[in-house]
Amino acid sequence: MYTEIEQQSLDIDWFFTGNNEIAFVASAGGKLPETIAELGEKNGILSSYFRNLPEISDVIINPELKIILPDVNETYLSDFINMAKKGIYAFDKTVLNNFLDSNYHLVASPKNPLKLKDLSPDVIEVILKAQFNNELKDMKQINVFKFNE
């Protein structure tokens, strides 16, 4: 389990599903959904699994990103692009240095999304603990507190 202090002080990579597709979120020191905080070490298994997948997709950068982050650069984009190339939608925390702010924005999306059915059964079992009932392709932002409703 991630403690509140770990959540505040670490940039934790976490993952969720949305109608059979996969999303990646960089927490940037934000409060995690309870289901993710409870995963603890199992979340690290997901991160390792997804980071070691092959690239399968071209990437679309969120066209609204320059409005959200006027100073966006290649260094910032690199990790999000890397995840999107693996077929995973990539989100980042919108307001930094505010632990309780729960808003995240889309940074990059895959043209060819990875599907839940393509994952190993042990990864499916873990990732299904964090589900959003929306189509990821339609999501430009998320509120992580909606995971706990």
Each residue's pLDDT tens digit, 59-111: 999 999 989 888 888 898 999 999 999 999 999 988 877 777 888 899 999 99
Which pLDDT tens digit goes with each residue over 7-39?
777 778 889 888 899 999 988 877 888 888 888
Query: Does residue 95 contact residue 144 with C-beta atoms inside 8 Å?
Result: no
pLDDT 10s digits, 124-146? 988 888 877 777 777 788 887 76
pTM of the model: 0.89
